Amino acid sequence: MSGSRFNLVAIMALMLAAVQFHGTAAQTTHVVGDALGWTIPPAGPSAYTTWASAQTFSVGDVLLFNFTSGFHNVAEVSQAAYGPCTTSNPISIVTNGPARVTLNAPGTHYFICTVGTHCQIGQKLTINVSAGSATPAPAPAPATPAPVSPPTAAPTPVPSTTTPTPRPTSSPAPSAGEASPVSPPTSSQSPSGSNSPSPTDSTIPPPPSPSFAPSFTAVVPFTFLAMALAFFY
């Protein structure tokens, strides 16, 4: 029984340590001013304004102020005290450098140096802290590519339907011994005042029917031949 309790306590301790380690690893430490450090800026307060605009601050992050103790300090003040550089009654103050300030609440935070007139010269900082979780946000899912339309096929050219104009062909010349084709007679108008019908108006009689009776010229030689044979015999 005691062994089971020991195992349960050990598991809970490991889970708590993992959570604490994850929260510590998720914190971001911001070095104020980077290489410039926390000092009187040569270009005025714009140096720290420009630096802060390039940072992203979240609850749990740490500000690291690099300065030499006795020459500077860092104090968090209210908005009303920030403008006129009022050094009395700060929210918090750290006099030993380098100083680490943890951002525990979201919103706008104001920091100044209360030594002499350092704040008036430009040693002051304003930051905006987001209320987001200290853990990094998951990467956004990749966007789904839009479907690509298939290429449109070029229209098939329609062949021309123009009918070629036939060219007149010359009739072949008639060969030797072949009668030339005779064009059919065309009706011609008879001269004025003449009542004679035109050749085309007359009725052409049909050809006579063929007769199968033997002609006289064929019968005579046959009769003469029969009589000669009878006389000879």
Choice between 7 and 192, residue whose per-residue pLDDT is larger: 7
In angstroms, the CA 40 to CA 42 distance is: 6
Q: Please check whether residue 182 lies inside any domain of the structure.
A: no
Q: Please check whether residue 19 lies inside any domain of the structure.
A: no
Q: What percent of the chain has pLDDT over 90?
A: 42
Choice between 203 and 75, residue whose per-residue pLDDT is larger: 75
Whether the CB-CB separation of 109 and 126 falls below 8 Å is answered with yes
For the ranges 68-72, 153-157, 222-226, which has the lowest average pLDDT?
153-157
In angstroms, the CA 66 to CA 72 distance is: 10
Specify the length of the chain in residues: 233
In angstroms, the CA 128 to CA 110 distance is: 9
**pLDDT tens-digit series, residues 162-212:** 555 555 554 444 444 444 444 444 444 444 444 444 444 445 555 555 544
Domain with 108, as residue range(s), is 28-130
Q: What percent of the chain has pLDDT over 70?
A: 46
Question: Considering its fold, how many domains does the chain have in total?
Answer: 1
65, two tokens: 């102020």
Q: Please check whether residue 85 lies inside any domain of the structure.
A: yes
The alpha-helical segments, DSSP class H, found in the chain are 2-26, 46-53, 79-82, 118-121, 216-232
Local confidence band at 50 (pLDDT 50, 70, 90 cut-offs): very high
In angstroms, the CA 231 to CA 233 distance is: 6
Cis peptide before 45 (omega within 30 of 0): no
Assign residue 119 the CATH number of its domain. 2.60.40.420
Residue 25 has pLDDT above 50, yes or no: no
Structure-token match 């015999």, residue found:
233
